[in-house]
Amino acid sequence: MAKIKKKYVCQECGYGSPKWMGKCPSCNNWNTLVEELETNISSKHTGISLGSNQQPESITAIQSKDETRIKTDMPEFNRVLGGGVVPGSLVLIGGDPGIGKSTLLLQVSDQLAHKQVRVLYISGEESTRQTKLRANRLGVTSDQLYVLSETNLQLISSQIDQLEPSFIVIDSIQTIFKEEVTSAPGSVAQVRECTGELMRIAKTKHVPIFIVGHVTKEGAIAGPRLLEHMVDAVLYFEGERHHTFRILRGVKNRFGSTNEMGIFEMKEEGLREVSNASEIFLEERSQGVAGSAVVASMEGTRPVLVEIQSLISPTSFGQARRMATGIDHNRVPLLMAVLEKRVGLLMQNQDAYVKVAGGVKLDEPAIDLAIAVSIASSFKDQPCKPNDVLIGEVGLTGEIRRVSRIDQRVQEAAKLGFKRAIIPAKNMDGWTIPDSIEIIGVNSVQEALKATFDQ
């Protein structure tokens, strides 16, 4: 007979313990260990096989074949995936509740269904009538889009065998359960087993499957980290609930580049893609105001111009505050220390607030110079020139270091009407400078501030 054991598993990281503990020793979260029943059957293999007794082959003898990607009518969505949907891929989409994950996938499903691609939309959170109400609002009318309200994975698998769809959506993975697993839906064991079964279906039937994943309060995908390792691509749908713009960001992609970004605008009739992101982020920029600087940042293969805003004010407390939105908060005191030590701006008793306008998050080193200049601009109460764009990484000794893809950044700035670009001096050679923009190469923060304020 099968032996049943009790096991306590952390719902955040998957750590297992024979007894309950208030704090998980692996991820240090409280009250995340949940009791699960584990059945040990030595004669039954529970693994998932993707092949049928294949023999090892030399990598030089394997015939390569270019996969024909399935194109949607959203170029922004295709760009994040690396050029389209790859058949047989398993893609995970995560995001905050109400951000628009289901809306995006329902619109994509309708676009593919209009191209005579048979689509199966499986909802574990809504009934078919509720899905129909949302479809009416979005204008979904294709008869090749099939909707199923089911959470039992065995029944879902049988429906896939009968319908034989070419595109599948699972909304969401936390509601799907497998009968052989005794844990509740959404637990670590259920998420792991159900994702493994869906991966087998995707690889053996050569059909792409998109699964929606819930996120924790920190913004990460809920469940074990193994979930992100199992899938082929991980997409995050980001945005402020009080703003209309949404950002689809790729953080893992086995079939394309990572850190690609697609921008959408939430309308009453659904999501509409934004073709020129730089104009959206700069359309409300105030000119002639101290503390504002523009940077050309790379998001994957795409240059985006974004405004960096800073506010420096005398502190009212014993210790000055350093706050940042849209960038790593540790970068602000680091750059302020460089300005104080290398330039001589005394800001020990100044509060600093730095924000990336538009709700976008930036993490590349090339935005350092724009942050430093915006801080200095607010501290001096002297505005930057409105037609300047700043690009460069700032070192601890005050030097401006080389950045990648400088030609694409400058071309994007010239296209939007900027007249000057202050860039690292080491990036001056090896590319063609557009005629409509002046390039100023600087070696240090002092030279950058002089070029910004003194001319």
Report the binding-site residues for ATP.
Answer: 95-102
Structure letter (DSSP) for residue 215:
B
Q: What is the DSSP letter of 121?
A: E
Token reading at 157: 């698998």
Cβ within 8 Å of residue 161, ≥6 positions away: none
The CA-atom distances, in angstroms, between 195 and each of 137, 176, 180 are 31, 9, 14
Helix or strand or coil: residue 435? coil
Distance between CA 340 and CA 347 in Å, rounded?
A: 7
Question: CA 254, CA 67: separation in Å to the nearest integer?
Answer: 13
Nearest to 202 by CA among 156, 148, 239: 156
Say if strands 302-314 and 292-299 run parallel, antiparallel, or are unpaired: antiparallel
Question: How far is CA 335 from its chain centroid?
Answer: 26
The single-letter code of the amino acid at 56 is P
Partners of 354 in the β-ladder: 310, 324
Contact 325, 432 (CB under 8 A): no
What are the tokens at 222?
């809920």
Spatial distance between the Cα atoms of 212 and 21, rounded to a whole number of angstroms? 30
Give alpha helix (H) positions in 264-339.
277-282, 331-338
Q: In b/e form, how buried is each residue of 243-266, taking b as 16+ CB within 10 angstroms? A: eebbbbbbebbebbeebbbbbbeb
Return the half-sphere exposure (C-beta side, CA atoms, 13 A cut-off) of residue 323. 10
- Reply yes or no: is the peptide bond before residue 297 cis, omega within 30 of 0: no
Cβ atoms of 455 and 442 within 8 Å: the answer is no
Count CA within 13 A, CB hemisphere, residue 173. Answer: 33
Please enumerate, by residue number, every residue annotated as part of a binding site. 95-102
